[in-house]
Each structure stands twice: as structure tokens, then as C-alpha cells.
Amino acid sequence: MYREALSEDVADARLVYRGFQQRGIELPVRQTDECIQELSEQHSLSVAPIVRCMGREEYLKTVSSLIDSLKSSGSLEKVVFSRVHREERSPKYRPHDHFEALCAHFPEQAVHWIRWKGVGEWIGSSPELLLKKVDDRFETVALAGTLHSDQDEWGVKEQQEQASVARFIECELKRVGVELESDGPREIKAGPVRHLKTNYLFESPLKADHFLGLLHPTPAVCGHPREEALDRLLKYETYERKFYTGYWGIEAEQSQYFVNLRCLSVHDRQLMFYAGGGLNRRSDPEKEWRETEEKMKATMSFLHETEHG
């Protein structure tokens, strides 16, 4: 389910759900009350994957090593490093209630809940639009840099992080002959943290798939240069991202796709929460750890609201 889709006529729409590296699925959007009730009463049967969740000390040590490698590299500017956190699932936990809580608390974000064979069960809220298409008019954003709750001003590290995403988007789109209109960067609030965001508008007769292939994964979820950053994060991360930092969207007359950021995967006895942050030469390991903690709050803080005794 996708909250905005429930209030519109989307009989011919299709849901696209892509992983960070794997292809994913496409299926018709169904929005009946009976379907919602059926999903809310089902329990996920999938077993949580065997992963090693990094504790604070291991995370700090690993991030320090990554920062050192960035400082010694002549080409690598940024790596987005992430981690996973495991929580035991209460017998009273209801995914539908978790989904509704996210919808209520983050009305400005794209909130989704999916349970499907080959995908599993995922719930999330995203502040990041990957691509929007209305006729031949497109929109995308560069969203990066994180301001913590105890910070008042943007530092050089965060500004550089956002600028690398903006440069990537501008270069990729201009390379295929697109003329861009831009607005930003400006600050936006996303749950307990804030980000820098630049909006881009352009026109093209090409299909959305063409631009999704160009943009995904952006430096906001992978790093820059992309291939070098991907090699580095696959070496250091202790789990497989699967659909975290992939994207999902509704394909219809007006299509839009969102990056799967503030999310969790639901399993028979456990809940898996995901968060990451962009590392560059100015990164501080302790601040990066705190950033992942704050980002996970966006989904973890509603657990008790889903448990009804």
C-alpha cells in the first residue's frame, strides 16, 4: 500500500519495487478495503536473514577505516555506509498499525507497506523523490547532508556531501542532452533530522525507465564515483541491503518513484531496521553513529503504538 494511492483512481496503475542491486517486482496496485483488512490480519512467515549487526565500537572502527581510505584515495569522494539493527518482534506487533502511524506522523513523506513473495514485508517512509513524470515533464532531487538535532548550522562536510549528489545528477542528465531548471539547496525537515535539498525540473520525450537507469543508485545512497563507492561499501557492510536504498513507485499516467530510506523489514520473530550516512574526508565517526541512531528513530519510535494489549 502507498498512502497517496488510496485516495485516487489507480485501477490501471502498477507498483514498481526495486532493490539496491536486485531487480525487484512489478504488480498491479490493489486498494480495496478487503485487501487492506486481509493484509492487516496476516503474519509474516519469513525468517529474518542471518546478519551481523554492528555494535557501536565495531561501527566506529569500520567508519574510521573508511575515512582513512577516502583520505588516501585520489578519486573516491564519498561512500554511503549503512548498518542494520535487529529488534525482537512482539506478538502484539501489527504491521498495519505501524504503517498508519508513519502516515499520521509524516504526512509530507511517501509512506509504503508491501508484503509480496520474493520481496518479503517492508514498511517505510521516504523524504526523497527519485523521479516524477507528468507527460514529458520530469522532476528529481539531490537530497543529502544531515543536520543533527544538536546542530544549528550546516558544516562544510554536509555541504560537500550534498554538492556531490547535485553534481552527479547535473552531469548525468546534461550528458543525455537535458536542460535543467534548479532550485536550492534549501533545508528540509525529515523526522528527527534535517537535510539539504535541490530540486531539478526538465523535459524529455524519453520514458521514465531511461532516467531511473541513469540516476539509481545516486551518490546519496551509494557514493561517488559510483562503481568505486559500490565496491567499497560491499566490502565493509556486514549485510545485504536487498530493498533498503532501492526505490519504489506508482506507474500510471503520472508516475513517481521514491528512494526506500527510513524503512524496516518485518519477519516472523524479528524486525530489521536500516540506516546509513554519507562519509567523506571530513566525516567524524561518532557523529556518523549518532546520525544512524537518529534516522532509525523515524521508524522505531512507533513500535509501542502498534502493540495493543
- Cα separation, 267 vs 61, in Å, equals 29
The verdict on whether omega for the bond into residue 185 sits within 30 degrees of 0, i.e. cis, is yes
Across the chain, mean pLDDT equals: 87
- Tell me, what's the pLDDT at 287? 93
Global pTM value: 0.89
- Tell me, what's the pLDDT at 5? 42
- Cα separation, 92 vs 174, in Å, equals 51
- Summarised one tens digit per residue, pLDDT across range 68-104 is 999 999 899 999 999 999 999 998 899 999 999 999 9
Domains of the chain listed by start with CATH number:
3-295 (3.60.120.10)
- Coil, strand, or helix at residue 256? strand
Closest CA to 67 of 283, 227, 288: 283
Residue 3: pLDDT over 60? no
Longest CA span, the chain: 58
For the chain, what percent of residues have pLDDT higher than 90?
Answer: 67
- Summarised one tens digit per residue, pLDDT across range 101-124 is 999 989 989 999 998 888 889 999
Higher pLDDT, 304 or 136: 136
Which residues partner with 200 through β-bridges? 140, 182
What are the b/e assignments for 226-245, b being 16+ CB within 10 Å? Answer: eebbbebbeeebebebbbbb
- Tell me, what's the pLDDT at 190? 83
Residue 306: pLDDT over 80? no
Helix axes 56-72, 285-300, angle to 10 degrees: 130
Strand order in the sheet with 223-224: 110-116, 120-126, 262-266, 270-279, 78-88, 223-224
Residue 182: pLDDT over 70? yes
* pLDDT grade for 32, boundaries at 50, 70 and 90: very low
The sign one gets for the Cα dihedral 216, 227, 156, 146 is: positive
* C-alpha atoms less than 13 angstroms from C-alpha of 152 in its C-beta half-sphere: 0
- Summarised one tens digit per residue, pLDDT across range 141-180 is 999 988 876 777 898 989 999 999 999 999 999 999 999 9
Higher pLDDT, 148 or 2: 148
- Coil, strand, or helix at residue 252? coil
Residue 40: pLDDT over 50? no
What count of other Cβ atoms lies within 10 Å of the Cβ of residue 8? 13
The verdict on whether omega for the bond into residue 219 sits within 30 degrees of 0, i.e. cis, is no
- Tell me, what's the pLDDT at 304? 63
What count of other Cβ atoms lies within 10 Å of the Cβ of residue 284? 16
- Cα separation, 138 vs 131, in Å, equals 7
Q: Where are the beta strands (DSSP E) in the chain?
A: 14-18, 25-28, 78-88, 110-116, 120-126, 129-134, 137-147, 181-190, 193-203, 223-224, 247-251, 254-259, 262-266, 270-279
- Cα separation, 86 vs 96, in Å, equals 20
* Residue 196 in grid coordinates: 539539504
- Cα separation, 306 vs 301, in Å, equals 10
* pLDDT grade for 67, boundaries at 50, 70 and 90: very high
- Summarised one tens digit per residue, pLDDT across range 201-228 is 999 999 999 999 999 999 999 999 999 9
- Tell me, what's the pLDDT at 49? 66
- Tell me, what's the pLDDT at 44? 43
Q: By the 8 A CB rule, do 40 and 262 touch? A: no
Q: Span 232-249, mean pLDDT?
A: 94
